[in-house]
Amino acid sequence: MMAKSEETIFNLPQYRGRRVELRKNPTEPEKRFWQAVRGKQVGAKFRRQHGIGHYIVDFYCPEWKLVVELDGDSHFHPEAQTADTERDIYLQRLGLRVLRFTNQEVMQNLEGVLMKVMESNPTPALPLPGEGESSSPCEGGGREGVVQTNQEMAGYLKELGNANS
């Protein structure tokens, strides 16, 4: 459970300008990751440049209590690593999980990054009774835009790769 009420720690008004600025000027890895997760494409809603306490995280999924950080070169200096550790501890104390990926990982292996994100889903979608290999998919089944299986994810990632080429 979250400490205090969510209103007191999420998107504090004094950081609004910075959040807006960060959303308007994403890095290329942030753009690619956002294109892949926006609109519940991986099964849950993600928010970008979301305020949690005095931090602004790259991506946040409230349903999964998951923070995804994309780290560029500046994160590899000792001072930055110390700050990242403090930030991760703060977020974990709120009951959140933190996944960190390098910009290089996102640019060179987006499929692998997305698979790790999907594997972090604490409650993966289970097939409904009667769903499975032998049943035919029905239209309008409430799964539009949601990738729920590894096979569907692989197909989605292939389409995404073709779209980005």
Q: Does the residue 108 lie in any domain? A: yes
The verdict on residue 128 lying in a domain is: no
In whole angstroms, give the CA distance from residue 107 to residue 13: 32
Condensed to tens digits (0 to 9), the pLDDT of residues 76-134 reads 899 999 999 999 999 999 999 999 999 999 999 999 999 999 999 988 766 666 655 54
Range of the domain at 108: 6-122+144-164
Q: How many domains does the chain contain in total?
A: 1
| CATH assignment at residue 16 | 3.40.960.10
Residue 134 placed within a domain: no
- Alpha carbons within 13 A on the beta-carbon side of 40: 10
Q: How far apart are CA 100 and CA 57, in angstroms?
A: 11
Query: Are 147 and 153 in contact, with CB atoms under 8 Å apart?
Result: yes
Structural domain contains residue 127? no
In a domain, 137, yes or no: no
CB contact at 8 A, 94 and 9:
yes
56 domain residue, yes or no: yes
95: left (phi > 0), else alpha (psi -120 to 50), else beta? left
SS3 55: strand
Residue 130 belongs to some domain of the structure: no
CA distances from 152 to 3, 29, 108, 140, 157 (A): 36, 23, 21, 17, 9
Q: Quickly state the pLDDT bin for 143 (edges 50, 70, 90).
A: very low
Give me the pLDDT at residue 117, please: 97
pTM of the model: 0.74
Task: Report yes or no on 138 lying in a domain.
Answer: no
Residue 120's identity, in one-letter code, is S
